[in-house]
A and B are shown apart, each in its own frame.
Chain A
Amino acid sequence: MNLNTLAWRNLWRHKRRTLITASSIAFGVLLAVTFTGAGDYFYTRMIDAGANMGMGHITLAAPDFNRAPSSKKSLQRVTQLQQQLEKLPEVKDVMARIQGQGMFASAHKSVGGMFFAVDPKQENAESNLFIKAMVEGGMPRTADDKTIVLGVDLARKLKLTMGKKVVYTTTDKHGDIVSAIARVGGLFQTGSNEIDGSVALLPMHSVQKVLGYQQDEVSVLAVILHDQRHSHQLRDKMQNMTPFSQVEVLNWQQTQPDLAGMIAVDKSSNYISQLLIALLVAAGILNTMLMSVLERKREFGVMMALGLSPQSLFLLVMLESFWLAVLGLVIGVIVTTPWYLFMSQTGIDLSGAYGDGFSFGGVLLDTVFKIRLFKESIIAILIGLFSLALCAGAYPAWQAGRTPPVESLKAL
């Protein structure tokens, strides 16, 4: 009988103990999938929502625009840049936008805020959060429209309703103060007070005229990716590509540092929780393997007397840990799969606690708690727990191998 078979049989000497320990590994899989899956899902939702709020996963802007935005800093020949970007396989959508600060005035009040000038032809609900959040009216029909779309709170502050006039004032390309009139053509409600109370959408060409921009001139190109995880890598790649050498290429972490910071903090606490789970699982395995080694001390002495080397004895106990880990992971996958399918497709509705939605890092999230795992997270969980089980088994295995046979034979 080879060591592998012997290890497997040894595992079943105490069925209940083995099953309890394997269950603790399986429970570790369930918790790790839930925690990691929640992270993967919510971080992606937040990052995508943040990107869809204006700046994209990757932003192309004039140098220094991100640090100190100004109408004076603009991107020229954006059509060429857009064509280059659309050739990249990671890119899903590219949208030209003008982003600026302005003062919005009604007959009753003036309120400071931020505007995005958009070309309705380029926008779609999938890549633009405001289209999805529209509660009244709609986006400007053309880029030459004289309409404005306001956040519901901003409209409330200005005491405006649909069709009413708004004067928006900003600084143009030369630093001069300029104004224009628009009529309220739509209202959006994202659920984030910060956004709903300060953001307005304007038609692209109208704003270009007001700012003194050419038709092919904007302040940013917002790039939406198929997978937000490629933003860092793609930014680095783009920085070394000739067409983008004259512009600043930024990823979402740079354009939305608050969101990036919050995600980093949340990830850290998530990692700590997972580490604690891992320690509990490891303690269970260590306990089982130590007990198993201690109660077989004499048997190990006999095996060494028969010629089993200390290294082979170490290997035998490690193989027991290996099979325990495999068993735990198999049970874990069997138990976790239906849970994962339910949580990734249906989820748990938390609207009773959170209402219609809640914002995190300035980004609105829905109230259905779902999980989704990236492929690499699945691999990381399985490898992580597997390695953990092997590490926890290493000490008992080392103990078994280092005890002199004469000492082991004395054990009862």
Chain B
Amino acid sequence: MEQTIVELKNLSKIYQQGEIEVKAVDNVSLMINKGDFAALCGPSGSGKTSILNLIGGLDSPTSGEVWLDKTELASLSSSELAEVRKDRIGFVFQSYNLIPVMTAYENAAFVLELQGVEKQEQHQRVMQTLSDVGLAGLEHRRPDEMSGGQQQRVAIARAIVTRPAIVLADEPTANVDSHTAEALLDLMQDLNQQQGITFLFSTHDQHVIERAKRIIQVHDGKISADDYRA
């Protein structure tokens, strides 16, 4: 039986824009299982990023529940949510969002530092992870000394170095060329297959959609289709 990592139950998110109510997420129920390599697909404004934000505890739902393993996120305080994100979720953002004053090594080690992992273990895990993402030897470079693809690899290293339950990736290939996008997807696919890391993407990039094992179609805040590839 597959282990469910994330479960959304009747999840809704309504934003107030002036006097207009916008239903970004509309009564969504969904389960993400361990080992999934899933893509939330849909046009811009369909609600993909809103769903990722709700799963990541970055935003709170208007109604419904978000369960991460056995924790219901809506009931947690902002500090408790920070703890959950630190220990159990990895994030990869569209525009890399590395901390510019840190080297690749320091960016990757940042969350381990927050977790209070010992320096020696930090070093081992960071060096191994940077090597896994193909950045061995570049650990002392700062973000402005790296290409977009290299920066996104650091972002992936930062997301997986803590061995999170799930990695949430918001349009991870949107800012890189197609060759780099393919390389990044190879990397994430390898991490999924070899290390069993669960990935959930939001994307409208055809490269990502083609690689995903599960495609969840989102339209107007609702899930219109949810299929596993054979």
Contact = CB atoms under 8 A, between A and B. Distances in A.
Interface stretch (A61-69, A174-182, A263-271, A401-409): A401-409
B168 to A, nearest CB: 9
Interface of B: 53, 56, 58-59, 78-79, 82-83, 85-87, 91, 93, 97, 99-102, 106, 109-111, 113-115, 158
B97 A299 contact: yes
B82 A310 contact: yes
A303 interface: yes
Given A13-B100, A305-B56, A305-B58, A310 B78 contact: yes
Interface string A322-340: 0000000000000000000
29 contacts: A1-B109, A1-B110, A10-B101, A12-B101, A13-B100, A298-B97, A299-B97, A302-B91, A302-B93, A305-B56, A305-B85, A305-B93, A306-B111, A306-B114, A307-B115, A308-B82, A308-B86, A308-B114, A310-B78, A311-B79, A312-B82, A312-B114, A404-B58, A406-B53, A406-B58, A406-B59, A409-B53, A409-B58, A409-B93
A124 interface: no
A87 to B, nearest CB: 61
Contacts of A302: 91, 93, 97, 99
Interface residues of A, number: 25
Query: A-B pairs with the 6 shortest C-beta distances?
Result: A307-B86, A9-B101, A309-B82, A406-B59, A302-B97, A406-B58
Interface of A: 1-2, 6, 9-10, 12-13, 298-299, 301-312, 404-406, 409
Contacts of B113: 1-2
B74 to A, nearest CB: 14
A380 to B, nearest CB: 35
Contacts of B97: 298-299, 302
B158 to A, nearest CB: 7
B100 A306 contact: no
Nearest to A8: B101
A17 to B, nearest CB: 15
A310 to B, nearest CB: 5
Contacts of B100: 13, 299
Given A306-B158, A309-B79, A6 B102 contact: yes
Contacts of A309: 78-79, 82-83
